[in-house]
Amino acid sequence: MKVGIVGSGYVGATAAYAMVMNGVGREIVLVDKNENRASAEADDLFHAVPFAHPLTVRSGTYADLNGAAVVVLAAGVSQKPGETRLQLLERNYAIFSDVVPAVLAAAPDAVLVVATNPVDIMTHVTTHLAQQLGVPPHRVLGSGTTLDTARFRTLLGTHLGIDSHHVHAYVIGEHGDSEVLTWSLATVGGMALNEFCTAQSVALTDEDRARIDDRVRRAAYHIIGGKGATYYGIGSALARIVDIVLHNQRAILTVCGRTDDVCGVHDVTLALPRVVGGQGVVTTIPLALNEAESAALKKSANVICSAIDSLRLA
């Protein structure tokens, strides 16, 4: 099973490393306009294979993506300290106008996984460009709030003293400032969050919730401010998404995809819990949000729509 990664910067290379460490796929091909960088990253990654799983890592051109089942799009310029994801839009749209057709010319049957920020809008752009080439929307998905959901579960689990694998809680909407933490639907070990806290005598105050919300929502700004970029978390998330697609696992992830209607906002791309399988998005899971969460999700959808509308996609 071949996996392509376009863009061998921090995110693309770290995603490839996570795939090597977890044995995702049998061949990984790195493509980058900086061919020396792609070649160097591929060699470095291939030298880690003896310590992990038997697979091949190499660099190549778009033509080398032929036969790839999944292609991760991590090309584009990175987020600067203090820059919002939405401010990246114009710079990365121009890049994708060239990248997407080139990828699909070589790998017309691939599922496209978008990692480039602002990811919701770039996924919408990718879907638009792919549809012009006959690719159905379900075969294009973005990493969305997969990482934000992991952050939420990790921080909540830490507060509760519970392994985060047993915490189920979603972050939905924009991967960014307007994202929505669905506190009302959070469960722990099959119990509603409030019931679990009562049963286990664990305090979860409004201040605790606000602190967790802030750490989830502003995690990227903190990391970028300290070291310039985020890549370990998203690289691991991308490896997980690719593995799910390759093995048709039908897992539920908060990936972003083009959606007809979200709280009355039409034709918008944002993150919701979706079943992901071998052909991309299988279906979207409806959520019984409370009134405040629904209002926040609608606001988030409108933020994304405003940015999409500014592109005047033909």
Candidates 128, 138, 168, 175; catalytic one: 175
Report residue 289 as tokens.
């949000």
Alpha-carbon distance values, 180 to 24, 171, 172, 246 (Å): 31, 5, 5, 29
Gap between the Cα atoms of 211 and 217, Å rounded: 10
236-255 burial, b for 16+ CB within 10 Å, e for fewer? Answer: bbbbbbbbbbbeeeebbbbb
159 is known as an active-site residue: no
Relative to beta strand 274-277, strand 280-284 is antiparallel
Instruction: Collect all residues with Cβ–Cβ distance below 8 Å to 134 and sequence separation of at least 6.
Output: none
Gap between the Cα atoms of 17 and 43, Å rounded: 11
Closest residue by Cα to residue 96 from 242, 311, 241? 311
| Residue given tokens 């994708």 in the structure block | 96
Closest residue by Cα to residue 15 from 114, 95, 162? 114
Gap between the Cα atoms of 127 and 89, Å rounded: 15
What type of residue sits at position 287?
L
Report residue 280 as tokens.
């991309």
Instruction: Collect all residues with Cβ–Cβ distance below 8 Å to 311 and sequence separation of at least 6.
Output: 89, 93, 121, 125
Cis link prior to 137 (omega < 30° from 0)?
A: no
The answer to whether 68 and 3 are in contact (CB under 8 A) is yes
Under DSSP, is residue 143 helix (H, G, I), strand (E, B) or coil? coil
How big is the chain, counted in residues?
314
Residues involved in catalysis: 175
